[in-house]
Structure 1
Amino acid sequence: MDTIFALASAQGKAGVAVIRLSGPDSHSAAARLTGGALPKRGMVLRTLTDHGGARLDDGLVLTFQTPASFTGEDVAELQIHGSTASVNAVLRCLSDTEGLRIAEPGEFTRRALENGKMDLTQVEGLADLIDAETEAQRKQAQTILAGELGTLAERWRRDLIRAASLLEAVIDFADEEVPTDVSPEVRELIQGVMSDLHREADGVKIAERIRSGFEVAIVGLPNAGKSTLLNALAGREAAITSEYAGTTRDVIEVRMDLAGLPVTLLDTAGLRETEDHVENLGIELARSRAEAADLRVFLSETPKDLGVEMREDDIHVLPKADLRGIGEKGVSGKTGQGIDALVDDISCVLRQRTTAHGIATRERHRIAITRALDSLTSAISVLESGPDLYDIAAEELRTAIRALESLVGRIDVETLLDEIFSSFCLGK
């Protein structure tokens, strides 16, 4: 196994930079840099020098002994001053050290997976945590990183192994009279797992939205104040505004944190009949994006004017509240009137939706769960036919178990690993 190294902290000037080494030569390589033996596990303050004895920097050296480390291997971390020059000097020295090589993206985490320190769902949770921009994303990523989905999968797997073993016991003693009918317990075990799997499969779509963000489209007639409202919500001039109808031709997107949830606001072209070919293209795009959005804000006198049917949770607000009489409700991006109430309404709808999400967060999870459900449905059906077909039911259970094992990365995931780890930085 190679010994790898990389900058584990962010690129650029900082107060402290962390360089991580992992592998069988990590401790000896760190010791050569510091000119003395290091504890197998601990922290010491040392002066770092190059191979010619020239001083590089002062820093803390942390050592971790296998298997009690992030990767499950011997690990050393160098905490030095975070200047670009200091970091580059230490990295050059490590590059010139025999037996060391620069890590590939995500290689530290990949080694943690291969050495049993994390399962595949935890790796995905770590990637999500690194990318998290909102509180909801952070909490969801922490749940996965803590191993809760892996714990669930192991419980499901254990129950299905128990069910399969009961069926196989009957098969093994087919020529003898089995004193107990195992089918009630087998059915109960399978149905319990299926209930959990259905709940997780149904919640994946919302969980994915927490990861990638909800889309909220602002739709209305031309000059209804959509772009002005978008700018007010974004707190900056994200869209061009003018008194001329048809100014917005494309869909303008603004990503923001709304009550801890990731939200992409869409400013769409005004919906109207027009002979302008380019504007028509924008209007068709607006209708398409509005239909696909998770939530629509209808900025109009009446939603029926827009030719887009309102869904149950969609929000209707009156435009240009600053031009209306006292006491009339509405929203104005120009003065800010009604914006706090609109933000509260949007946040309330999206928060209610997030209550339905489970622990599974990715389409890969949903596919593995669906495969397991299909096999369990077949197993229940075959089980009803009696002991003569228990061998088929047992095989369906084994297929379901393999699907759950792929969920946590035990089997059938090699083709996924390069794609997953390519999103990691070098120091992870």
Structure 2
Amino acid sequence: MRASAAALRVWTRCPRSLARPVRNVYRHAVRCMASLAEPPTIFALSTGAGRSAVAVVRLTGSKSGEALTAMAPALVRLPAPRLLHLVEVVDPASGQLLDKALVTRFSGPRSYTGEDCVEFHLHGGPSVVRSVLAALGSLPGLRPAEPGEFTRRAFEAGKLDLTEVEGLADLLAAGTQAQHRQALLHATGAVRRRYEGWRARLLTALAAVEAVIDFGEDEGIADEVAAGVLPDMRALRAELAGFLGGGQRGQLVRDGVRVALVGPPNAGKSSLLNALAGRDAAIVSPFPGTTRDVMELELELGGQRVILADCAGIRETEDPVEAEGVRRARATLATAHIVVQLRDAQAVWAGDDAAATQAGDWGGDSTLGELSEAQLTLSVWNKADLLAEGQGPRGQGFGMPADLAPRDRGPPSTAPLLISCETGEGLDDLTQLLGRAVEDILAQGGDPEAAALVTRARHAAALSRCVAALERYEGVWAALELAAEELRGATRGLGAISGVVDTEEVLDSVFSEFCIGK
């Protein structure tokens, strides 16, 4: 500003013959300072790559209007905002026609990013899109956008907070109904409002305590204020701790419930994976040990995301490649929420299944080792079509297990479920049972309301810091200076979730999840 004022004084004192060149220098200096202050105009393809009916190229920044008139020279002036206009899009350098498209613009701050924005709605051919992007890149002051840069500008302009940004990312990636519903709560601001309410209570308490520290001279008033703040902070700490304890469900909805298919070689695990997926995802052969690695695919069961893992057959082996597959199978087994123990029904009934014989139980498997008490286990016998009439669980009156309970350091208490991947027998029952098991796992992870608030590890970490600060506050509430410091720590913990206070590293991590055009 001092440089601008000095330049203006020089211009007003110059003779008329020198006024024009000095004025030009002054204008150039002002433009240079303005260009340093404002971010560059960015552009990117906002829709999916590849062929499509329509492709949307988005621009944001102060030069987006200039770019529009350069790419559509038939426009005498900038068109009215928020309306679609049919124009011929040309290359500004050569004048070559690139496409006949619809364009629209949004004036800041009434736009997604808070800046002036322009959209080109092009025909979706790859060559059309490449040509338009190349032409935009040739214009001065424009550059391609980084991943998530549009949304980051919206965040920096105050259009979104971090929970809404993460909700938008989850909404774009949602593959199940549960993920869709959960993401909408974040993207539409419902979660933000809950966190803002909690933070407002903290700020009110902090303001009261700091007011007494700064202005209160009467010791009786100080004690009264401190005692008045304490009950609400205790209630808030209990409320936050409850949500924190039940927040695992939100991460399960977002990341998926893991199901491991385990058992001896040639029990039909890959066949079961293909049957549940409805396609030939895994190689199947009659030779034991065909599967050497862990193969994962995603399913939707009851509206929930499920990660199904087909593991190598677990057995003692001298083959180093198969041994590595067994090691990976055990590692997958350790992280699974649900374990499906699959066996060859004919082999078990004939006493040829060593694992079942050693365990001496319908569903036991001594080769699996000890599983976590939190894991749900399901014993399944495959190849029911090979059993003779009256053999196996069918002959004993067994059918679908009545319940699924957390494993209690032993084999499943329920009878095995008899299926045939060849004929399809029992597969509907298995799908239904897996759906119930997924719901049981989610129920262990907390109630749906807590799930909507805590969907990421950083949410849980920030809430933990807030709860810890409030616990420390309860120990020092009468010492106002110490109490104020703990309340400030709790406020910072909640603020980190919404982005009111945060570090650059956290912001970079959040926005890196987006594609280029978002």
TM-score (norm 2): 0.76
Q: Secondary structure at the match of 1:10?
A: coil
Are 1:39 and 2:80 matched, yes or no? yes
After superposition, where does 1:24-423 map in structure 2 within 5 Å? 24-34=62-72, 35-36=74-75, 37=77, 38-51=79-92, 52-171=94-213, 172-178=215-221, 181-300=224-343, 302-308=362-368, 309=370, 311=373, 313-324=376-387, 325=389, 327=394, 328-329=398-399, 330-355=418-443, 356=446, 357-383=451-477, 386=478, 389-423=479-513
Hey, what's the Cα distance between the residues in 1 that align with 2:316 and 2:57? 61
Hey, what's the Cα distance between the residues in 2 that align with 1:5 and 1:271? 52
Hey, what's the Cα distance between the residues in 2 that align with 1:346 and 1:142? 26
Hey, what's the Cα distance between the residues in 2 that align with 1:102 and 1:245? 53
Deviates further, 349-358 or 22-31: 349-358
> Contact conserved, 2:266 with 2:287, CA < 8 A, in 1?
yes
* AA at the equivalent of 1:318: W
Hey, what's the Cα distance between the residues in 2 that align with 1:400 and 1:110? 26
Cα deviation for residue 12 of structure 1 reads 1.6
Hey, what's the Cα distance between the residues in 2 that align with 1:18 and 1:242? 47
Instruction: Return closer, same or farther for 1:298/1:94 CA change in 2, 3 Å cut-off.
Output: same
Cα deviation for residue 341 of structure 1 reads 1.0
Q: Secondary structure at the match of 1:216?
A: strand
* AA at the equivalent of 2:386: L
* AA at the equivalent of 2:485: E
> Contact conserved, 1:220 with 1:306, CA < 8 A, in 2?
no
Deviations 1:197-237 (A, max 9, x none): 22332344332222222210112233322222122112223
Q: Secondary structure at the match of 2:224?
A: coil
Cα deviation for residue 362 of structure 1 reads 0.7
TM-score (norm 1): 0.91
- 2:4 is matched with none
Give the gaps of 5 or more residues in structure 1: none
Deviations 1:319-376 (A, max 9, x none): 3222344645311212111111111111122124335224221111111111111101
Hey, what's the Cα distance between the residues in 2 that align with 1:69 and 1:382? 47
Deviations 1:164-207 (A, max 9, x none): 22323443314453298234542232133223322332344332
Deviations 1:21-64 (A, max 9, x none): 11112123212322222114432222223324433222211111
Cα deviation for residue 278 of structure 1 reads 4.0
* AA at the equivalent of 1:425: C
> Contact conserved, 1:203 with 1:358, CA < 8 A, in 2?
no
Instruction: Return closer, same or farther for 1:245/1:104 CA change in 2, 3 Å cut-off.
Output: closer
Deviates further, 305-314 or 99-108: 305-314
Give the gaps of 5 or more residues in structure 2: 1-37, 349-361, 400-417
Hey, what's the Cα distance between the residues in 1 that align with 2:472 and 2:512? 37
* AA at the equivalent of 2:89: L
Instruction: Return closer, same or farther for 1:186/1:44 CA change in 2, 3 Å cut-off.
Output: same
| Count of matched residue pairs | 424
Instruction: Return closer, same or farther for 1:168/1:370 CA change in 2, 3 Å cut-off.
Output: same
Q: Secondary structure at the match of 2:364?
A: helix
Q: Secondary structure at the match of 1:423?
A: coil
Instruction: Return closer, same or farther for 1:175/1:349 CA change in 2, 3 Å cut-off.
Output: same
Hey, what's the Cα distance between the residues in 1 that align with 2:233 and 2:216? 22
Deviations 1:76-129 (A, max 9, x none): 111121112222222222222222222122111110010001111211222222
* AA at the equivalent of 2:384: A
Instruction: Return closer, same or farther for 1:191/1:96 CA change in 2, 3 Å cut-off.
Output: same
Instruction: Return closer, same or farther for 1:341/1:175 CA change in 2, 3 Å cut-off.
Output: same
* AA at the equivalent of 2:481: D
Instruction: Return closer, same or farther for 1:426/1:250 CA change in 2, 3 Å cut-off.
Output: closer
Instruction: Return closer, same or farther for 1:315/1:27 CA change in 2, 3 Å cut-off.
Output: same
Which fold has the larger relative contact order, with Cα–Cα distance below 8 Å and residues 6 or more apart in sequence? 1
> Contact conserved, 1:46 with 1:59, CA < 8 A, in 2?
yes
Hey, what's the Cα distance between the residues in 2 that align with 1:21 and 1:397? 43
Hey, what's the Cα distance between the residues in 1 that align with 2:320 and 2:45? 52
> Contact conserved, 2:216 with 2:222, CA < 8 A, in 1?
no
- 2:52 is matched with 14
